[in-house]
């Protein structure tokens, strides 16, 4: 059986184990309205890393998005503009809030939401926009910010894949009202599960901790609608250790991505990922497009790579607007997203991949594509 180079791999060591053991020995396993000591330390450290005033840890990236919508007052009857080419959580949380996701198309080169399509999708019911930093490349937030300011809309940035990314000289999330992060096991840093909301808004910061804990401003007395979205102390401890390792993780991802991109330039059928001027990619995923390919041809290449031990994976195979549940929100034809979903696949560049393995991956792709 061929050993597989996985597309992503959580890298945890003795430091994380030690931190978890300290939590268990302390018997302080979670907070209530206020975060426990490890989670509080993690919140402060991550907020500093992304240059935000406030950070609020939660139990998942999906929880962060849903909580952000609740803090922004999104409710039944509202509309939220989202890209269809994303992980399901981007639209799922809108439906959970009782609102209607309005799907828009993407840019064919960055795979991020096309700002021009956003403005055309707005109605009097639009309350918010959720741009996604897909694969670790920030969305084009400057024109999106202008659209939001012009129409009085809230920007909730789905930065789940963008730890360490930057846009126009500022960390990802800086142009949004609320930015939402994921620490799922595959991400650039992990807490196992877990998420974070960062913001510079005092108004949102005054709501989020209480919505996160059943709407309780005092014990057993709920003053607003909330949920149990707290992060436990074990995850906060892992997060503190992983945050210290994140700069090194990012440096290795960048090294691997640049090497792989350089090697794959000879493969003329591939559209390679890149960093537009003013952007810094986090290289969560190294995603290529097999130009002019059918879905069967793309899937055939992915399967042959996997047979060779390269964990090539498709993100995302079906745009959200074509999934059964989401068809109730309208009929959409989003040609760029639909074509991309049939042609993209991602290759491993995570910090567990050596330069020798990068070259092995490149050789395998080049051999298959002639």
Q: What is the CA radius of gyration of the chain?
A: 20
SS3 at position 310? strand
pLDDT digits (tens, 9 = 90+) for 259-275: 999 999 999 999 999 99
How far apart are alpha carbons 275 and 249 in whole angstroms?
18
Among the three residues 180, 214, 241, which one is the final residue of a domain in this structure? 241
Among the three residues 217, 241, 265, which one is the final residue of a domain in this structure? 241
Number of domains composing the chain: 2
In a domain, 3, yes or no: no
How far apart are alpha carbons 181 and 54 in whole angstroms?
13
In a domain, 7, yes or no: no
Set 187, 207, 245, 327: catalytic member: 187
Segments forming the whole domain that contains residue 24? 14-241
277 labelled catalytic: no
**Residues 50, 147 within the same domain:** yes
Among the three residues 241, 258, 283, which one is the final residue of a domain in this structure? 241
Q: Which of 47-65 are b and which e, b meaning 16 or more Cβ less than 10 Å from the residue's Cβ?
A: bebbebebbbbbbbbbbbb
Instruction: Give, for 18, the enclosing helix (H) or strand (E).
Output: helix 14-26
pLDDT digits (tens, 9 = 90+) for 322-336: 999 999 999 999 999
In a domain, 9, yes or no: no
| Residue spans of the chain under pLDDT 50 | none
pLDDT digits (tens, 9 = 90+) for 275-285: 999 999 999 99
DSSP classification of residue 35:
P
**Residues 216, 81 within the same domain:** yes
From the number of C-beta atoms within 10 Å of its C-beta (0-12, 13-18, 19+), residue 330 rates as exposed
> What's the pTM value of the predicted model, to 2 decimals?
0.97
Closest CA to 155 of 121, 130, 137: 130
Residue 62: C-alpha distances to residues 112, 137, 306 (Å): 19, 19, 29
In a domain, 8, yes or no: no
**Residues 252, 354 within the same domain:** yes
Q: What is the mean pLDDT of the chain?
A: 97
First to last CA, the chain: 25
Residue with tokens 């050993």: 3
In a domain, 2, yes or no: no
Query: 248 is written with which tokens?
Result: 């090194």
pLDDT digits (tens, 9 = 90+) for 31-86: 887 889 999 999 999 999 999 999 999 999 999 999 999 999 999 999 999 999 99
């Amino acid at each position: 059986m061929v050993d597989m180079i996985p597309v992503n791999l959580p890298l945890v060591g003795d430091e994380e184990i030690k931190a978890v053991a300290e939590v268990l020995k302390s018997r302080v396993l979670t907070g209530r309205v206020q975060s426990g000591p490890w989670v509080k330390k993690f919140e402060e450290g991550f907020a500093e890393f992304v240059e935000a005033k406030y950070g609020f840890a939660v139990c998942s990236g999906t929880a962060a998005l849903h909580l952000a919508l609740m803090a922004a007052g999104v409710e039944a009857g509202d509309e939220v503009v989202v890209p269809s080419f994303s992980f399901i959580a981007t639209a799922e949380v809108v439906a959970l809030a009782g609102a209607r996701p309005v799907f828009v198309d993407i840019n064919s080169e960055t795979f991020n939401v096309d700002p021009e399509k956003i403005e055309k999708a707005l109605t009097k019911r639009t309350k918010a926009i959720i741009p996604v930093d897909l694969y670790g490349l920030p969305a084009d937030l400057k024109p999106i910010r202008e659209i939001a300011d012009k129409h009085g809309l809230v920007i909730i940035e789905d930065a789940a894949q963008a730890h360490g990314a930057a846009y126009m000289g500022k960390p990802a999330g800086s142009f949004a009202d609320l930015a939402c992060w994921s620490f799922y096991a595959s991400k650039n840093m992990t807490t196992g599960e877990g998420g974070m909301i960062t913001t510079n808004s005092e108004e949102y910061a005054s709501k989020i901790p209480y919505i996160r804990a059943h709407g309780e401003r005092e014990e057993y007395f709920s003053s607003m609608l909330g949920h149990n979205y707290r992060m436990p102390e074990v995850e906060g401890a892992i997060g503190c250790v992983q945050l210290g390792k994140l700069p090194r993780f990012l440096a290795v991802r960048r090294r691997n991505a640049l090497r792989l991109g350089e090697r794959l330039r000879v493969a003329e059928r591939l559209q390679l990922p890149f960093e537009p001027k003013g952007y810094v990619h986090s290289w969560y995923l190294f995603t290529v497009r097999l130009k002019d390919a059918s879905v069967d041809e793309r899937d055939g290449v992915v399967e042959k790579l996997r047979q060779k031990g390269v964990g090539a994976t498709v993100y995302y195979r079906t745009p959200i607007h074509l999934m059964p549940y989401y068809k109730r929100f309208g009929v959409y034809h989003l040609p760029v997203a639909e074509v991309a979903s049939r042609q993209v696949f991602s290759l491993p560049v995570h910090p567990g991949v050596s330069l020798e393995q990068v070259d092995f991956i490149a050789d395998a792709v080049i051999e298959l594509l002639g």
